């Protein structure tokens, strides 16, 4: 199965705090630097779970961008899309319980344009997975719509993973209109992200409920038990597993993700 994901390839800087931050002073931490971004994470997890993945992303030609591209392709992901400018960076602060707070600079990822999306990138695609970050602003939103159109022509199903309830709430009507034009078969979202939309959407909803698992078609699936070190990327691992094998594989992948530091397999 070939999953094409569209969205961000960014440099992830993950900081797991070993003590609370102290204003004007130091705090001990464990850190990890590597490739990340919602769409990149999904692609990497698809490969790790036995599928094939192609990432469609406008990504940086700077040292950070080259590092991310090298790591992702080394993991078996096919990377396509314009390579220009400065890649983005996401800094994740991870607390003692594994919960994270992110500061995001999406760099050139937000600048992917509809006319830059090539039909050849969707050839052979069984599923197109669209990062919700692309729906928050133009021109990336138009690129996502164009990719979804090409994916449908290729016979692929389309999924969207919503992102950032606060950003959705600020742009609710715009995001909903873009979702309606994309008409995804599946929508992954937290309950807060779903509630932030300015209306309802006909789709199969996979509601992410953290430690309580997921809710699909009104049925609750409990989270797979395990240690929680860092929740960064758990939703992306879940999406990859769900697209390949359904709810149980998704939950198993999410459990693997949170048991270690970092978002990649």
Integer angstrom CA distances of residue 85 from 25, 68, 81: 34, 14, 13
Q: Is 36 within 8 Å of 90 (Cβ atoms)?
A: yes
Per the DSSP assignment, residues forming a β-bridge with 130 are 6, 160
User: Using CA atoms, how far apart are residues 188 and 131, in angstroms rounded to an integer?
Assistant: 10
Res 101: pLDDT: 81
Q: How confident is the model at residue 8 (pLDDT cuts 50, 70, 90)?
A: very high
Cβ-contact 32, 17 below 8 angstroms = no
pLDDT of residue 49: 98
Q: pLDDT at position 262, please?
A: 85
In sequence order, what are the residues at sequence separation of 6 or more whose Cβ sits closer than 8 angstroms to the Cβ of residue 151? 4, 122, 125, 128, 157, 158
Q: Tokens 């159109």 belong to which residue? A: 149
**Candidates 12, 161, 230, 236; catalytic one:** 236
- The mean per-residue pLDDT over the stretch 180-187 comes to 97
Residues 43-66, mean pLDDT to the nearest whole number: 96
Helices (H), 117-215: 140-153, 165-170, 172-182, 191-196
What is the pLDDT of the chain when averaged over all its residues? 93
pLDDT band of 200, cuts 50, 70, 90: confident
What pLDDT, on the 0 to 100 scale, is given for residue 105? 85
The answer as to CATH 3.20.20.80 being correct for domain 2-258 is no
- State residue 98's pLDDT score: 65
Instruction: Give residues with Cβ within 8 angstroms of 3, minimum separation 6.
Output: 42, 43, 46, 51, 52, 53, 54, 125, 126, 127, 128, 129, 240, 243, 244
Q: Is 195 a catalytic residue?
A: no
What phi and psi, each to the nearest 5 degrees, are found at residue 52?
-115, 145
Q: Judge whether residue 199 has pLDDT over 70.
A: yes
pLDDT at 229 over 90: no
Token pair 């692609």 is found at: 43
**Separation of alpha carbons 241 and 256, rounded Å:** 11
Please tell me the pTM assigned to this model: 0.92
């Amino acid at each position: 199965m070939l999953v094409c994901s569209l969205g961000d390839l960014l440099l992830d800087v993950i900081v797991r705090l070993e003590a609370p931050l102290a204003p004007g002073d130091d705090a001990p931490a464990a850190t990890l630097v590597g490739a990340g971004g919602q769409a990149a994470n999904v692609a990497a997890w698809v490969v790790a779970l036995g599928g094939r993945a192609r990432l469609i992303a406008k990504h940086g030609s700077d040292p950070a961008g080259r590092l991310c591209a090298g790591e992702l392709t080394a993991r078996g992901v096919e990377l396509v899309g314009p390579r220009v400018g400065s890649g983005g960076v996401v800094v994740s602060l991870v607390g003692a319980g594994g919960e994270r707070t992110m500061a995001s600079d999406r760099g050139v990822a937000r600048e992917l344009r509809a006319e830059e999306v090539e039909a050849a990138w969707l050839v052979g695609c069984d599923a197109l997975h669209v990062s919700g970050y692309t729906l928050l602003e133009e021109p990336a939103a138009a690129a996502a719509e164009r990719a979804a159109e090409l994916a449908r022509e290729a016979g692929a199903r389309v999924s969207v993973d919503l992102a950032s309830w606060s950003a959705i709430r600020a742009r609710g009507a715009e995001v909903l209109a873009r979702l309606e034009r994309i008409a995804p078969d599946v929508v992954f979202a937290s309950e807060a992200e779903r509630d932030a939309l300015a209306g309802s959407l006909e789709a199969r909803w996979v509601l992410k409920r953290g430690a309580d698992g997921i809710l699909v078609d009104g049925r609750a699936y409990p989270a797979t038990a395990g240690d929680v070190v860092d929740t960064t990327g758990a939703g992306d691992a879940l999406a990859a597993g769900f697209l390949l094998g359904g709810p149980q594989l998704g939950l198993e992948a999410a459990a693997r993700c949170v048991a270690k530091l970092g978002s990649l397999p």
